[in-house]
């Protein structure tokens, strides 16, 4: 059993780089192509009675560190997955998307992140000859916000809402003398969240800084959670911009035998449309 666990852990750790490298290079090529256009400067303000919608697909190239125990039959394990050395070849599916609607000083934001990883690894054991593993993780946040401050080239929002977590893990051992053996578990929880989001335009250019800082949990479900992002953006038109930056997330959740004490960090790239 422990042979299967450590093989699973080793394979997951080595599963995450080639696809993200290709994605990162493709995005850089797109950005270089778009730089040939001359476009108007970004403005942080809009008409007060106008409904504003933002849609932002993004890619977070995150490494992961911490201690997890997501399968009750298996012991806790330390994980250390570094983006620059390890990150994502066995991706079954992923969805990362932010949507926002605002009128005047008030609005609502929804952030959806989903990743599905499946891997297989041979085992050098007389009991089992192969281990296959799946990990499906949902992180869905929704919050209302109020614009505390707004000027021609900057704003600051106060956010309050919730974040839904779902971590589903599966492990199947096959072959050998003991036949198939399966382990699976799913844990869900909801954390309250509070935070700030702000933007400032850099001089008279089309470049801007945008970031947010969230805290949550407060012992309601997670003991504590915090999430910080800082991006450098460029407004190509009045309706389209791109951002590149860095995100750090830390969450500490434990219930019964389930433990998810993890920090995730890495570069983040997004494309935003306003309409």
User: Tell me: the pLDDT tens digits for 229-253?
Assistant: 999 999 999 999 999 999 999 999 9
Q: For residue 95, is pLDDT > 80?
A: yes
Sequence length of the chain is: 275
Q: For residue 127, is pLDDT > 70?
A: no
Domain count, the chain: 1
Half-sphere exposure of 214 (CA within 13 A, CB side): 26
pLDDT value for 78: 81
Q: pTM (2 decimals)?
A: 0.79
Q: For residue 167, is pLDDT > 60?
A: yes
Spell out the residues 6+ positions from residue 33 whose beta carbon is closer than 8 angstroms to its own.
Answer: none
pLDDT value for 112: 96
Q: How confident is the model at residue 131 (pLDDT cuts 50, 70, 90)?
A: confident
Burial of 93 per CB tally in 10 Å (0-12, 13-18, 19+): exposed
Spell out the residues 6+ positions from residue 58 whose beta carbon is closer than 8 angstroms to its own.
Answer: 96, 97, 98, 243, 268, 269, 270, 271
Spell out the residues 6+ positions from residue 40 whose beta carbon is closer than 8 angstroms to its own.
Answer: 206, 235, 237, 238
What are the structure tokens assigned to 227, written together? Answer: 């999430």
C-alpha dihedral sign at 32, 34, 36, 41? negative
Q: For residue 2, is pLDDT > 60?
A: no
* Type and span of the H or E element at 33: helix 18-34
CATH code of the domain covering residue 98: 2.40.128.100
Q: How confident is the model at residue 24 (pLDDT cuts 50, 70, 90)?
A: very low
Residue 213 domain boundaries = 2-274
Pairing, β 91-103 against β 130-150: unpaired
pLDDT value for 72: 77
């Amino acid at each position: 059993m422990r042979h299967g666990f450590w093989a699973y852990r080793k394979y997951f750790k080595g599963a995450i780089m080639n696809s993200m490298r290709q994605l990162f290079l493709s995005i850089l090529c797109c950005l270089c192509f778009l730089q040939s256009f001359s476009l108007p400067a970004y403005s942080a303000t809009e008409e007060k009675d106008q409904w504003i919608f933002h849609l932002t697909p993004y890619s977070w190239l995150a490494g992961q560190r911490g201690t997890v125990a997501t399968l009750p039959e298996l012991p806790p394990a330390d994980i250390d997955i570094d983006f620059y050395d390890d990150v994502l070849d066995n991706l079954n599916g992923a969805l990362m998307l932010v949507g926002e609607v605002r009128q005047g000083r008030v609005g609502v934001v929804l952030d959806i992140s989903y990743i599905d990883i499946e891997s297989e690894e041979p085992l050098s054991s007389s009991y089992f000859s192969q281990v296959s593993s799946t990990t499906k993780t949902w992180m869905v946040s929704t919050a209302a916000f109020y614009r505390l401050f707004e000027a021609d080239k900057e704003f600051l929002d106060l956010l309050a809402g919730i974040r839904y977590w779902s971590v589903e893990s599966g492990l199947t051992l096959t072959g050998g003398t003991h036949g198939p053996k399966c382990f699976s578990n799913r844990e869900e929880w909801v954390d309250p969240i509070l935070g700030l989001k702000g933007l400032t335009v850099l001089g008279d250019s089309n470049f801007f800084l945008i970031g947010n800082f969230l805290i949550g949990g407060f012992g309601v479900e997670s003991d504590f959670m915090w999430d910080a992002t800082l991006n450098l953006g460029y407004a190509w038109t009045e309706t389209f911009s791109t951002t590149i930056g860095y995100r750090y997330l830390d969450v500490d959740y434990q219930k019964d035998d389930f433990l998810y004490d993890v920090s995730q960090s890495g570069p983040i790239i997004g494309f935003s449309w306003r309409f």
